[in-house]
Amino acid sequence: MSLMLDEISEQPEVLEKTIQAERLKVERVGKFLCEKDIDLIVLVARGSSDNAALFGRYLLEITTGIPVSLAAPSVYTLYAAKLKLNRTLVVGVSQSGEGADINQVLESAKNSGAFTIAITNEVESSMAKIADETLLIHAGREKSVAATKTYTGQMLFFYMLANALSDKKIAFDIIPNLAAQALKLKNEIKNLVERYVFMENCVVVGRGMNYGNSYELALKLMETCYVVAERFSSADFFHGPLALVERRFPVILFAPQGATRNGSIDLLKRLMELNADSFSITNDDEIARLSSRALRLPKHIDEFLSPIPFVIPAQLFAAFLSEAKGINPDAPRSLTKVTRTV
């Protein structure tokens, strides 16, 4: 079994440990930030961490009403721009905490008046030393190049921050249990990947709370399976990219019940007309019926809590598909665990 699969299986325990260890700190930081009356949140990340931040943007804007921006690190690192960041929260997100550009943005933001938070898996990292506060993912060392348990750990912290910064209370305590339920699909997924061994191109679709997951699965398919994977919002997909789809073309959807349900159903009906291969990760009967293939999660999972349990089957799919293609998912060609860019 690959390290990637081992680390996917560790996620319920990692999430539970992180909640227990960091809950009080997040509550304290949240109280401080509410008193500071921040009016802007900026998230800065790369790679899988950036996909977690994309999720965080949706969650934080919806729950707190505070505008959230995803930072463009080059604004700071290449153009040395000086932004006015009083009453701003800047959150750096990095598994290793050693991304040079991310850390440069944090340092610059701090000098410009922002309050800074590091979300990382390494308590002694450079990022942790720069930030005003560090939120630590209790994942232990992540050995596989492909991020899995640290990705969901980062997402968990956005739930905890949203809960601390808003009046809307989020039942993040049940997420470890939902993650454990998602892992029960492991054998079904292992059998399913045989149908996709020769897949070279695909599209991954998600919207709203699962939009970041569409980016993350596409990244996992590219880095561990060498599949060219494009990612879209279901809304954007109708505006031109649908022309990509031909007979048996694979389209993978994150399609929970909730606000995005009708859009998923409209897209699936169109894909049926095109004889495309649609593969949905869902907890909705109608979506499953309209899909060529579907992985079914429990119906009781609320859309707000779906991103972590929905991405776990996607992680398993990428890991098993990589092995079925004869690729080692722990050591993708040309990639390393820590990427340093400026």
**Which burial class, exposed, middle or buried, applies to 23 when counting CB atoms under 10 A from its CB (0-12, 13-18, 19+)?**
middle
Fold annotation for 184-324: Rossmann fold (3.40.50)
The model's confidence at residue 37, banded by pLDDT at 50, 70 and 90, is confident
Task: Residue 336: count other Cβ atoms within 10 Å of its Cβ.
Answer: 9
**Which burial class, exposed, middle or buried, applies to 311 when counting CB atoms under 10 A from its CB (0-12, 13-18, 19+)?**
buried
Residue type, 37: D
Instruction: Tell me: pLDDT of 288 over 80.
Output: yes
Residue type, 67: P
Identify whether the C-beta of residue 30 lies closer than 8 Å to the C-beta of residue 168: no
Instruction: Tell me: pLDDT of 337 over 50.
Output: no
d(CA 265, CA 212): 20
Instruction: Tell me: pLDDT of 56 over 60.
Output: yes
Instruction: Tell me: pLDDT of 21 over 80.
Output: yes
β-strand pairing of 293-296 with 201-205: unpaired
- pLDDT, tens digit (0-9, with 9 covering 90-100), for 146-163: 999 999 999 999 999 999
Cα three-residue angle 130-23-179, rounded to 5 degrees: 105
Q: Which residue has the higher pLDDT, 33 or 76?
A: 33
Choose from 80-84, 86-90, 332-336 the range with maximum mean pLDDT.
Answer: 86-90
d(CA 324, CA 342): 36
Instruction: Tell me: pLDDT of 336 over 70.
Output: no
Judged by average pLDDT, the poorest of 71-75, 114-118, 281-285 is: 71-75
What does the DSSP assignment read for 245-294?
A: --TT-EEEEEE-SSTTHHHHHHHHHHHHHTT-EEEEEES-HHHHHHSSEE
The reply to whether 184-324 shares the fold of 3-173 is yes
pLDDT at 234: 72
pLDDT at 323: 96
Instruction: Tell me: pLDDT of 241 over 80.
Output: no
Distances (CA, A) of 160 to 15, 173, 207: 11, 9, 22
pLDDT at 237: 65
Structure tokens at 18: 């992180």
The model's confidence at residue 342, banded by pLDDT at 50, 70 and 90, is low
The secondary element (H helix, E strand) that includes residue 321 is helix 307-324
pLDDT at 334: 55
The CATH class for the domain spanning 3-173 reads alpha beta
* 104-111 average pLDDT score: 94
φ and ψ at residue 64, rounded to 5 degrees: -100, -25
pLDDT at 232: 82
Distances (CA, A) of 59 to 109, 126, 165, 173, 341: 22, 27, 11, 16, 28
**Which burial class, exposed, middle or buried, applies to 84 when counting CB atoms under 10 A from its CB (0-12, 13-18, 19+)?**
exposed
Percent of the chain with pLDDT over 90: 82
pLDDT at 327: 94
* 204-228 average pLDDT score: 96
* 8-28 average pLDDT score: 98
* 278-299 average pLDDT score: 97
Choose from 49-63, 243-257, 266-280 the range with maximum mean pLDDT.
Answer: 49-63
φ and ψ at residue 332, rounded to 5 degrees: -60, 145
pLDDT at 46: 94
Collapsing DSSP to helix, strand or coil, 208 comes out as helix
CA atoms 219, 220, 221, 223: torsion sign: positive
Domain positions in the chain: 3-173, 184-324
* 226-245 average pLDDT score: 75
Nearest to 328 by CA among 188, 96, 201, 145: 145
The model's confidence at residue 243, banded by pLDDT at 50, 70 and 90, is low
Q: Which residue has the higher pLDDT, 28 or 145?
A: 28
Instruction: Tell me: pLDDT of 2 over 60.
Output: yes
Give the residue carrying structure tokens 């939902």. Answer: 178
- Name residues whose C-beta falls within 8 Å of residue 189's C-beta, 6 or more positions apart in sequence: 295, 313, 316, 317, 320
Instruction: Tell me: pLDDT of 142 over 60.
Output: yes
The model's confidence at residue 74, banded by pLDDT at 50, 70 and 90, is confident
